[in-house]
Amino acid sequence: MLGTQIKDVILKPDAPSSLLLDKHADYIAAYGSKKDDYEYTLSEYLRMSGIYWGLTVMDLMGQLDRMNLQEIIDFIKACQHDCGGFSASIGHDPHLLYTLSAVQILCLYDSLHAIDVDKVVEYVKGLQQEDGSFAGDKWGEIDTRFSFCAVATLALLGKMEMINVDRAVEFVLSCMNFDGGFGCRPGSESHAGQIYCCTGFLSLTGQLHQLNADLLGWWLCERQLPSGGLNGRPEKLPDVCYSWWVLASLKIIGRIHWIDKSRLRQFILACQDEETGGFADRPGDMVDPFHTLFGVAGLSLLGEEQVKAVNPVLCMPEDVLQRIGLQPDLLS
């Protein structure tokens, strides 16, 4: 018989084992200041999300005041288009992905009044298709990620009733698979990122009872590898961002205790860069703000007391959602 080699990483004994909060805050604070950097410029197409990742992790670490509020609000306003949607950056086209990020940032700053909210709602509404799905923008790409972006944006704006929620739910449920998970479109393979979007979607629309939570929870807890890290699909390497998506999904369906929390914590901590600050996808790789947010947010869900409590559905600090009065459902 053949033995499968489990794809995994080995944590080095000298890997970081405590949370280096100050370094991470310095890393994020400095990240936006190197605007002439080649790599930074290359990632302009997702800038709005980049800002959301950076600000959210700063807020979770209690360091939001180190960021330049006015500059960010001005930037967001400049990114809203006539159609109501937001682009990742100036000169780019509007998209649901960046519309959600922009609204999330404005909620962190309690500044929704700075933009035309009704037009945002019109934009989101206009992207819903006959079958209930959402296109990411006017070019028609369909994905359950966009269903999540749409309802998350509207939930934050308190305007969920503006779309056809029943149809939207019907479409997301049509993407449910044999393993209880979800993919991008009907028939697509289950993937932790999409599962996060779809469980989050069902939470925001009050439809979590439609899940097969025991079956899905089993698939999700099987993502944990001997290193303690979680992968996003069977036979893939562990990754800090997938750790968040799987963990948040488990939290939403009330089954976070099905994984070994202390081993996961060890893995996430080992992905920190002691020199530069920040988290990488795996130990020894280059850090970035994306994995830094999901590293810190993951630790928060695992009960880390040095950072604020994070909401598993919207990946935002709980105190921000309390201020808005939004409490997405979780299964118990």
Partner 1 sequence: MHGRVKVKTTAQQEEEKRKEREKKLKIYVAARDACFSKRKEGVCDDEALQLTQQLLSSNPDFATLWNYRREILMHLETVKDPDEMQKIYEAELSFLEACLKVNPKSYGSWHHRGWVSARLPRPDWARELSLCDRCLSLDDRNFHCWDYRRMVVKVSGVPVDQELEFSDRLIGSNFSNYSSWHYRSTLLPVLHPQTRQEPPHASSPRGPQSHRVCEEQLLKEYELVQNAFFTDPNDQSAWFYYRWLLGRAEREETISCVYVSREDERVAVAFSRPINARCVGLLLVLDGQPLRVEWRSVHPRFRHSPVLICDLPPGTINDVTNEHNLTVHWTGNHTHRDCALYTGRVESWCRDTATDQELFRSELSVEKTSVLQSELQSVKQLQELEPLNKWCLLTIILLMRALDPLGYEKETLAHFQTLKEVDSMRSEYYSDLCCKFMIENTILKMEYAEVRVFSITDRNLTSLCHLDQLLLVTHINLSSNRLQRLPPQFAMLQCLEVLEADNNFLENLEGVYHLPRLQEVSLKNNKISTLTDLQPLASCPELKRLDLRGNPVTQAASVESDLAELLPSVTDLLL
Interacting residues with Zn ion between 269 and 288 (CB under 5 A): 281
Among 292, 315, 305, residue whose Cα is nearest residue 28: 292
Q: Which is nearer to partner 1, 38 or 130 (CB)?
A: 38
Residue 70 site contact among partner 1, Zn ion, none (CB < 5 to 8 Å, cut-off depends on kind) = none
214's tokens: 């025991």
Give CA separation, 146 vs 86, 104, 126, 159, 205, in Å.
14, 15, 13, 17, 14
The helix (H) or strand (E) run that includes residue 311 is strand 310-311
Beta carbon nearer to partner 1, 6 or 65: 6
Q: Out of 13, 14, 91, 325, point to the residue binding partner 1 (CB under 8 A).
A: 91
Residue 308's binding partner among Zn ion, partner 1, none (Cβ under 5 to 8 angstroms by kind) is none
- Looking at the Cβ atoms of 169 and 296, the one nearer to Zn ion is 296
DSSP for 42-56 reads HGGGGHHHHHHHHHH
Q: How far is the CB of 176 from partner 1 (least distance, A)?
A: 3
CA distance 64 to 21: 13
SS3 287: strand
Residue choice 14, 18, 39, 82 for contact with partner 1 (CB under 8 A): 39
Candidates 51, 148, 196, 239: give the one binding partner 1 (CB under 8 A).
239
Strand partners of residue 279: 272, 288
Among 252, 229, 253, CA closest to 242: 229
By CB under 8 A, which span of 21-29, 69-77, 78-86, 277-285 interacts with partner 1? Answer: 277-285
Nearest to 313, CA basis, from 67, 135, 45, 100:
100
Beta bridge partners of 272: 279
Closest of 268, 247, 266, 270 to residue 258, by C-alpha? 247
Site membership for partner 1, residue 258 (CB under 8 A): yes
Cβ-Cβ contacts under 8 Å for 215 (sequence gap 6 or more): 179, 180
Distance of closest approach, residue 2 Cβ to partner 1, in angstroms: 5
Select from Zn ion, partner 1, none the partner in contact with residue 139, using the beta carbon and a kind-dependent cut-off of 5 to 8 Å. partner 1
Q: CB-wise, 281 or 304, nearer to Zn ion?
A: 281
The CB-of-294 to partner 1 minimum distance in angstroms stands at: 12
Residue 47: which of Zn ion, partner 1, none does it interact with, CB under 5 to 8 A by kind?
none
239 interacts with Zn ion by CB under 5 A: yes
User: Residue 255 or residue 308: which is nearer to partner 1 going by CB?
Assistant: 255
CA distances from 268 to 31, 217, 298 (A): 21, 21, 8
Nearer to partner 1, 109 or 219 (CB): 219
Binding to partner 1, residues 284-313 (CB under 8 A): 284-286, 288, 290-291
**Stretch 118-147: interaction string toward partner 1, x if CB under 8 A:** -------------------x-xxx------
Look-up of token digits 């500044």 = 111
Rounded-to-integer distance, Cα 194 and Cα 144, Å: 7
Q: Which residues bind Zn ion (CB under 5 A)?
A: 239, 241, 281
